[in-house]
Amino acid sequence: MRVTAIVVAGGEGRRIGKDKNLIPLLGKPLLFHTLRAFEKARTVSDVILVVRKKNVESAKKLFVNKFKFGKIKKIVEGGRERQESVLKGLRWVRPDTEFVVVHDGARPLVRPSLIDKTVRACSVKGIEAVTTAVKATETVKKVRDAFIEKTLNRDELWLSQTPQVFRHRTMLAAHLLAFGEEFVGTDDVQLVERMDVKVKIIEGSRENLKITFPEDLIVAEAFLRKRRP
């Protein structure tokens, strides 16, 4: 089966103050660690990398020429929003692709085994989409105007992550529908949910954090050092 991964790395890194995907992490660009996991994932056939316009050429030189990630088939310019960036990447997916994996470039701690596990979960008959997620462990409050409206039942709450995997036809239909209706979701799973498609959740990893704030880099480095033999 052909599986294409779209790695989205077009964020501006507003909270971290710089282009976070190129921030050094144990001597390599943050995005290096993300792409290496997909290079090692057994189920992934090829990778489409989506970056900011100004980074397209430098990404080719860095990740294709220098680090020689052979699965990268295309590096494309992203959009103004993450959803637009995914759609731009989706346009380069081969028609014979069965499954599409979407992953945040800013999640450099993803393991190849988790990628493969998610793809295999989606390949089960009758499953159209799968997301990784972790259970909420803290009490969650619904708030309006700085006052608590309700305490939510955390036993029913999960924190969504990537990778997320979709059957190609389902994902394409979801994105085209959202584009036509000018709907913007918070992740790709939400677009599929709008078509009344049931999305399976599998347990992700608490290591698989998204680099958003400067302190996240400290945690990520600690995890990566622990992995080293």
**pLDDT tens profile 53-81:** 999 999 999 999 999 999 999 999 999 99
What value does the mean pLDDT take over residues 187-202? Answer: 97
Q: Cite the beta strand spans of the chain per DSSP E.
A: 3-9, 24-25, 28-29, 46-51, 72-77, 99-104, 129-135, 140-144, 147-152, 158-167, 199-203
Query: What mean pLDDT value characterizes the chain?
Result: 95
| Per-residue pLDDT band at 229 (split at 50, 70, 90) | low
Q: What SS3 state is found at 193?
A: helix
Q: What SS3 state is found at 83?
A: helix
Q: Inform me whether the pLDDT recorded for 165 exceeds 70.
A: yes
| Per-residue pLDDT band at 21 (split at 50, 70, 90) | confident
pLDDT tens, position by position, 87-97: 999 999 999 99
Neighbour count for residue 27 (Cβ, 10 Å): 6
Question: pTM of this prediction?
Answer: 0.96
